[in-house]
Amino acid sequence: MKLTVTCIIVCVCLTFVCSSVLMSEDFMYWESNFADIDIVEHITAQNSVVSGSSVATLNMNGDVSITSNKSNAQLTNGSDTLVTEYKLTFDHTGGDGYTGSSTVDWTDYNTFLDTAAVVTYVPDDNDVVVTLHVRASNYADDVADAGTYTATQELTAHWVGP
């Protein structure tokens, strides 16, 4: 009797473990949106450069690529524009035993993430903290008018797979 009960318990446990492994769903989602980036510093001279950043967590259980929609990504105020650059950083590189990617260095808004950033998944580390940085400055031959400049940088995560 004791052997039969043990065998049934072991079989039931194996069934639960195997079914959860075989039926696990792929997932990828942003935990929340990036908060608005409010650059509190002002451009005070021709050569002034100001910047700000926002953080969001991306959850996944496989490799993911991140791309950018650049349609409204330049900082504008009416017809006036600023030099607008973006940078993407991650809390880990993907090669250090944790899910992550290498830094996408400062890039002009219209070429930012032309090559997608690939986030390498490391098993049992199902998230990566992504920081979006923005930097603004005047063009070399123009000083922008004072005012509030806005832009929308839309990042999209795409499933690459295990």
Domain ranges of the chain: 26-161
- Residue 49, beta-bridge partner list: 137
Q: For the residues 18-38, what does the mean pLDDT come to?
A: 77
Asked whether residue 127 carries a pLDDT value surpassing 90, the answer given is yes
Q: For the residues 42-53, what does the mean pLDDT come to?
A: 93
pLDDT tier for residue 24 given thresholds of 50, 70 and 90:
low
pLDDT (tens digit per residue) in 89-117: 999 988 888 999 999 999 999 999 999 99
CATH class of 26-161: mainly beta
Please provide the DSSP assignment of 42-60 as one string: ---STT-EEEEEEEEEEEE
Burial class, 50, CB count within 10 angstroms (exposed 0-12 / middle 13-18 / buried 19+): middle
pLDDT of residue 20: 38
What percentage of the chain reaches a pLDDT higher than 70?
85
